Amino acid sequence: MGEPEIRRRREDDLSACVEALATVHEVDRYPAEWPADPGRWLTPDGVLGAWVAMSGPDVLGHVALTRTDHVLAAEAGLPPEGVASVARLFATASARRRGVARVLLDTAMAAAAAEGLRLVLEVEDGGKAAIALYERKGWRHAGSRPGDWTTADGRTALLHTYVAPAAGTR
């Protein structure tokens, strides 16, 4: 299989995105708690754009860009007006090890660069594969702090903040 088709998420993609997210939640417990309105969860406040990875009619993955809150921008050491956040990035279990998350992350990075924005994100400590991807792509660890929820294995979440490399440096 070649690379998936990456395109902007459309309104009529939302139900398939929710179905794909449900498979991710079942396997990975992401999100940690299933949202009351998963479609709304995939479209957080301040969303700047969202993309899907498709193979025919199947959603293989998803990513969104959002405005960054002041706390995350401060932790990253960047001014909030020049920063966007990667959010709701996932690849279904059947799409793993096929580059889906990498291509979605590249799409988000290109969209942010086109707008002159630097990217930041938070990842829970249990997301070892995601952390490895970010570090391979040149993202810098900027700090860690406890989350306000408990992970599936009963521990307090530990959130790591990462900052994307500046445009043109990777």
**Can you give the pLDDT at residue 32?**
87
3-state class (DSSP) for residue 68: coil
| Tens digit of pLDDT at every position of the chain (170 positions) | 567 899 999 999 999 999 999 999 999 889 988 999 999 999 999 999 999 999 999 999 999 999 998 889 998 999 999 999 999 999 999 998 889 999 999 999 999 999 999 999 999 999 999 999 999 999 999 999 999 988 888 899 999 999 999 876 55
CA distance 53 to 103: 8
**Can you give the pLDDT at residue 115?**
95
**Can you give the pLDDT at residue 168?**
61
Contact 130, 65 (CB under 8 A): no
**Can you give the pLDDT at residue 166?**
86
Taking only the tens place, the pLDDT of each residue in 43-86 is: 999 999 999 999 999 999 999 999 998 889 998 999 999 999 99
CA distance 108 to 122: 15
**Can you give the pLDDT at residue 2?**
65
Which domains are present in the chain? 5-163 (3.40.630.30)
